[in-house]
């Protein structure tokens, strides 16, 4: 897994990332844009951009209004990658324009001293293995943090900041709206802005999403541990007395599920199997580190091709200790690393 460091204002950080990941990211970006060309039956990249320009314009206005720092960071990324801004914008809206959506598992538990632990895997297609990177960011405004995302993007999927606030997401279905931010872009706003779970819940509740959604495990240095579900339809904080601290890729709150579209069937079935495994292991007091490495015959947490999904990495955050334990590959195979914030 590639590790990089960035610092300074948003555009500067974006350019630093783009330059650092160019060799890794450009072939992947080209594949994704080619997929969009096929999806929109565009004979060239220019024709594709002409077809999607009106939609991108609407979404870009929303980003400028709701999260101008992301626009600046993306402009820096485009420059660092050597791409024009409109072509890079097509990538930033790829999930809304295309069909690839994030799948993963998150679990929450406490160690023998009662301290919170947050575990997460990231499950992707085989051709994308190795695309996740670990970025250590020291912004000019906000908290320093380590966060995981695809190379060449700001799609934060997990991380921990200098205060100890830790997050790990899974993707869940949500209604499509014209206004708001894409879910992975919205997740990028949390770690620089929030010191603890309480602040994060207030922050996330106010976020406006325009597509898809996320469940999010949160923990902090004060010992709090919480699981939420958030889409453009709203947000719920799940009751740990009724819903164990585990999530895959379908909405668990029954009332909230009724306000959102159903998950794709293959992802739903795969997620149900993983959720059953995670809950059984949590009930048996198995720690997150062993859960993430699990290769059960049915519902393995570490995936190696089940429903064409592969686990790219796994991580366990210890918010009170301000450390993370990283498996930079299939977690049942690679050696774990321990990193401090």
pLDDT in tens, 100-110: 666 799 999 99
What's the average model confidence in pLDDT over 50-64?
94
What's the average model confidence in pLDDT over 69-85?
97
pLDDT in tens, 210-255: 988 999 999 999 999 999 999 999 999 999 888 999 999 999 999 9
Q: What is residue 94's predicted lDDT score, i.e. its pLDDT?
A: 85
Confidence at 30, pLDDT banded by 50, 70, 90: very high
Portion of the chain with pLDDT greater than 90, in percent: 92
Confidence at 99, pLDDT banded by 50, 70, 90: low
What's the average model confidence in pLDDT over 166-181?
94
Residue 115 predicted with pLDDT over 80: yes
d(C-alpha 153, C-alpha 306), whole Å: 26
Residue 47 predicted with pLDDT over 90: yes
Q: Where are the domains of the chain?
A: 3-97, 106-340
Residue 33 predicted with pLDDT over 80: yes
pLDDT in tens, 287-327: 999 999 999 998 999 999 999 999 999 999 999 999 999 99
Give the contacts of 295 (CB within 8 A, at least 6 positions apart): 301, 302, 304, 332
Residue 98 predicted with pLDDT over 80: no
What's the average model confidence in pLDDT over 258-272?
92
Lowest-pLDDT range of 70-79, 95-104, 147-156: 95-104
Q: What is residue 155's predicted lDDT score, i.e. its pLDDT?
A: 94
What's the average model confidence in pLDDT over 265-280?
94
pLDDT in tens, 116-146: 999 999 999 999 999 999 999 999 999 999 9
Q: What is residue 138's predicted lDDT score, i.e. its pLDDT?
A: 98
**For the structural domain made of 106-340, what CATH number should be given?**
3.60.60.10
Q: What is residue 266's predicted lDDT score, i.e. its pLDDT?
A: 86
Contact 231, 213 (CB under 8 A): yes
Q: What is residue 241's predicted lDDT score, i.e. its pLDDT?
A: 85
Q: What is residue 101's predicted lDDT score, i.e. its pLDDT?
A: 65
Confidence at 58, pLDDT banded by 50, 70, 90: very high
């Amino acid at each position: 897994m590639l590790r990089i460091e960035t610092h300074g204002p948003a555009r500067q950080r974006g350019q630093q990332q783009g330059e650092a990941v160019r060799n890794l990211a450009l072939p992947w970006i080209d594949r994704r844009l080619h997929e969009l060309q096929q999806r929109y039956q565009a004979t060239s990249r220019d024709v594709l951009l002409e077809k999607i320009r009106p939609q991108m314009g609407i979404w870009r206005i929303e980003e400028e209004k709701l999260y101008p720092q992301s626009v600046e960071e993306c402009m820096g990324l485009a420059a660092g990658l050597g791409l024009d801004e409109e072509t890079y914008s097509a990538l930033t809206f790829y999930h809304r324009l295309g069909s690839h959506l994030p799948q993963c598992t998150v679990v929450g538990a406490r160690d023998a001293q009662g301290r919170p632990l947050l575990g997460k895997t990231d499950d992707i297609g085989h051709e994308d293995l190795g695309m996740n990177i670990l970025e250590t960011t020291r912004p000019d405004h906000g908290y320093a943090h380590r966060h995981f995302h695809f190379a060449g993007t700001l799609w934060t999927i997990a991380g921990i900041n200098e205060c100890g606030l830790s997050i790990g997401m899974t993707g869940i279905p949500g209604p499509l709206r014209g206004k708001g931010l894409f879910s992975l872009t919205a997740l990028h706003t949390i770690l620089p802005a929030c010191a603890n779970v309480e602040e994060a819940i207030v922050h996330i509740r106010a976020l406006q999403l325009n597509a898809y959604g996320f469940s999010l495990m949160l923990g902090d240095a004060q010992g709090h541990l919480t699981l939420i579900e958030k889409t453009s339809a709203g947000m719920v904080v799940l009751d740990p007395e009724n819903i164990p601290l585990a999530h895959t890729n379908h909405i668990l709150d029954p009332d909230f599920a009724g306000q959102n579209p159903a998950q794709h069937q293959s992802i739903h079935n795969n997620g149900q199997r993983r959720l059953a495994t995670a809950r059984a292991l949590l009930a048996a007091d198995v720690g997150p580190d062993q859960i993430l490495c699990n290769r059960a015959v049915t519902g393995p947490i570490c995936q190696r091709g089940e429903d064409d999904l592969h686990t790219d990495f796994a991580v366990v955050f210890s918010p009170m200790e301000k450390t993370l334990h990283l498996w930079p590959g299939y977690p049942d195979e690679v050696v774990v690393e321990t990193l401090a914030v």
